[in-house]
Amino acid sequence: MPFNTPSKKHWSHVWSHFALDGYIWLAAFITATIVRFSGDDSSTTILTALLRYAPGILAGSLTLSSVCYLFSLYSRHRPCSNLSRRYLLVIAAVLVSTIVTLSYGSIDFSARIGRGVLILALPSATVLLLLHHHYLRLQSSAFQEKLLLIAGCQKDLSDSDRFLQMNQNHYILSGIVTTHNFQLPATQTALGDISDLKQLVKIHHIDCILATSSNLRDDTIATPIRSLRYSGTSVTNLTTLCEELYQAVPLSLVDSSWLLSASSQPDWAYIRKFKRIFDVITAIFFLIVLAPFLILGMISVRLGSKGPIFYSQIRSGRFSRDFKVTKLRTMKTDAEKSGAQWSSENDERITKVGKFLRLTRIDEIPQLWCILTGEMSFVGPRPERPEFVEQLAQEIPFYNERLLIQPGLTGWAQVNYPYGASVDDAARKLEYDLYYMKHMSVVLDLFILLDTVKTILRGGTSKSRGGQLTEFLDKLSKT
């Protein structure tokens, strides 16, 4: 029986509130435009005004939701708990969106939004947005799910210990239901037997049942769970719960059955068609927009140190096919005279100019050509050097799984974890890559692009962003 997984709750929650903020902005300006021009006798005046204002309003709507996302205002598991700070961030997002909305009038003066529309739209939009985020904070604070663990052996029982080690406040383990007369340790008490499951769920108001795949292969366990599943009670396992909490998959909880299940989750029509279209359009757009920065970067490399401007390197692509990536040179020309080495965030081989280029990701711009040629995607696991792939595949389980999809210029691992300088770092990044491979979609790709902007603006990714996951993994390694 497949799991009725809660792992998609995070992104559906983020996307729904992201869309709602954008809709509030659109609705406020459309309503204000209608009210402002409703006094005219000609109905075409309103339509004409809406068509003129549409590009600026749409740009402002997208900016508003994007800025709120960059401020992490949509996270349910790590919400902005300070209400006054949340209000200030929302107002800051409104100000930025207003500037973007009005900026379109500088491009096309005839589309400039008048003061009458602004006076009507901005106060109403701001009030509605503040109310929305006040509700969002209350919802995040009150969000809590009660879990019931099914245990038929000591191995199942270890899931309860792992659950208690999670850094979370929104899930409560209400108790344990035993199967096949399994006896709990003296320190724990069972709520009841599997035969009492339906009644226990009702009495304790259980939202989710925590079970292992082996349990669900047993008909005596699966049958009572199945009826509850179709009446609204979720069924999940510990791995899926980690996906919801950390947006990553701990390697210690991954097995072959998870990999087979994960491979059937993504929308492959998107991967084969729409993702390629998305890649080409996005690469062309950024090549045009970033061309001045690329030229400045090339000049900086030339003036900053002796040696070539560009640096080419062989990387492993999809299905281990090697291809050449070209970047602006950020290291000294003799950086690898002793052979291939790990690149770290504070690598002494990096030039002064190179540090800035890496910080701003300008050195990555030439790789847009690899996207156009189809060797890379815009979003995906970062391509690694073949010699490192061979080493890591021997030391990290399931490492070669990341070679089953197109490598990316940016990725979920890149926005959550800094430069990898060890096997342990590569393992942590793989946990984010596996999560992406299971959940890849156009929505997730767009959010990763926004997270990439955030990473650039704050000067890179620190290990603190994935700190909760790292802390949980450290606890797991000690058990």
pLDDT (0 to 100) of residue 44: 57
The pLDDT, as a whole number, for residue 479 is 54
Strand stretches in 387-446, DSSP E? 408-410
Q: What is the pLDDT of residues 71-126, one digit of tens each?
A: 989 987 665 667 888 999 999 999 999 999 998 877 777 778 888 899 999 999 99
pLDDT beyond 80 at 152 = yes
Give domain status of residue 237, yes or no: yes
User: If you average pLDDT over every residue of the chain, what do you get?
Assistant: 85
Q: State pLDDT tens for residues 433-478.
A: 999 999 888 889 999 999 999 888 887 666 555 566 666 666 665 5
More confident residue, 10 or 383: 383
323 & 450 share domain: yes
Beta strand 171-178 with 192-193 is: parallel
Q: Are residues 182 and 220 in the same domain?
A: yes
Supply 248's token pair. Answer: 């990553």
Report the side by side order of strands in the sheet with 234-236. Answer: 192-193, 171-178, 145-151, 208-210, 234-236
Q: Let me know whether 109 and 55 are in one domain.
A: yes
- Residue after which a domain boundary falls, among 81, 115, 141: 141
pLDDT at 442: 84
Read off the CATH number of the domain in which 166 is found. 3.40.50.720
How far apart are the C-alpha atoms of 10 and 21, rounded to whole Å?
Answer: 17
Q: Are residues 241 and 282 in the same domain?
A: no
Residue 352 and residue 472 in one domain? yes
pLDDT of 66 > 70? The answer is: yes
Q: Are residues 237 and 371 in the same domain?
A: no
pLDDT value of position 100: 93
Query: For residue 5, what pLDDT band results from cuts at 50, 70 and 90?
Result: very low
* Token output for 374: 């189809």
Between the CA of residue 337 and those of 73, 128, 341, what are the distances in Å? 47, 60, 10
- Same-domain status, 112 and 150: no
Q: Do 150 and 103 belong to one domain?
A: no
> 345 with 354: CB under 8 angstroms?
no
Write out pLDDT tens, residues 240-282.
Answer: 888 888 889 989 888 888 888 787 767 666 677 788 888 999 8
Dmax (CA) for the chain in angstroms is: 82
pLDDT at 410 over 90: yes
| pLDDT score, position 339 | 63
| 4 pLDDT above the threshold of 70 | no
In the structure, what pLDDT confidence band is assigned to residue 42 with cuts at 50, 70 and 90? low
Q: What is the rounded average pLDDT of the residues 21-34?
A: 95
For the segment 134-158, the average pLDDT, to the nearest whole number, is 85
Q: Which residues contact 181 (CB under 8 A, 6 or more apart)?
A: none
pLDDT of residue 252: 86
**Is residue 82 situated within a structural domain?**
yes
In this prediction, residue 17 carries a pLDDT of 95
Do residues 218 and 130 both lie within one domain? Answer: no
Residues 157 and 124 reside in one and the same domain: no
Whether residue 221 has pLDDT greater than 90: no
Domain count, the chain: 3
Which of 138-152, 167-181, 387-401, 465-479 has maximum average pLDDT?
387-401
Give the domain range for residue 473: 268-478
Give me the pLDDT at residue 1, please: 45
**Residue 235 class from Cβ within 10 Å (0-12 exposed, 13-18 middle, 19+ buried)?**
buried
Residue 368 to residue 348: CA distance in whole angstroms? 27
Residue keyed to tokens 């603190």: 464
Closest of 377, 403, 375, 406 to residue 390, by C-alpha: 403
| Residues paired with 379 in a beta bridge | 410
Determine the pLDDT at residue 474: 63
Which pLDDT does position 67 carry in this prediction? 96
Q: What is residue 8's predicted lDDT score, i.e. its pLDDT?
A: 58
% of residues, the chain, pLDDT over 70: 87
Mean pLDDT of 323-350: 77
- Separation CA 92–CA 369 (nearest Å): 36
